[in-house]
Structure 1
């Protein structure tokens, strides 16, 4: 377990092992996720870094028009009382 001290300004230094584990370098941003009394530290990622994260090799790209059609069809299906 790693620990660090909080200063009077509420600042702390992340231990080297934590920075390495998260792949943090100078200037990177971190996010804090509070869950049930625990805090998780995550490396903040830009939207550009997330591009393609959900892609699958067996799935072709979908156009915005196809997405709109699928959303409309799903909304229509959910209003069908016979389902």
Structure 2
């Protein structure tokens, strides 16, 4: 079992063995999933925009830029308390 100590700023170092196993590099993002009394760390590789063009278009191709703008607009409205 590997361990790390939390700093007063709430930071911990991910042990090198785990970083190597997950292939996580400096500057990459990770997210945490809480499952009961456990926390699962997952590495985020790229963004949804990196997938653009990787799926064969259907009869009605999606405009990913338009979808992204619509999501941003919806989130902004919710943050502003109008949604």
For the aligned pair, the TM-score class normalised by the smaller chain equals 0.5 to 0.7
Q: TM-score, normalised by structure 2?
A: 0.58
Number of residue pairs matched by the alignment:
59
Seen in structure 2, the aligned counterparts of structure 1 residues 40 and 49 have a Cα distance that, compared at 3 Å, is: farther
For structure 2, list consecutive stretches of 5 or more residues without a partner in the other structure. 62-83
TM-score, normalized by length of structure 1? 0.58
The structure that has the greater radius of gyration is 1
Q: Counterpart of 1:80?
A: none
Counterpart of 1:36? 36
* RMSD after superposition: 2.1
Q: CA deviation at 1:64?
A: 2.5
Corresponding residue for residue 59 of structure 2? 63
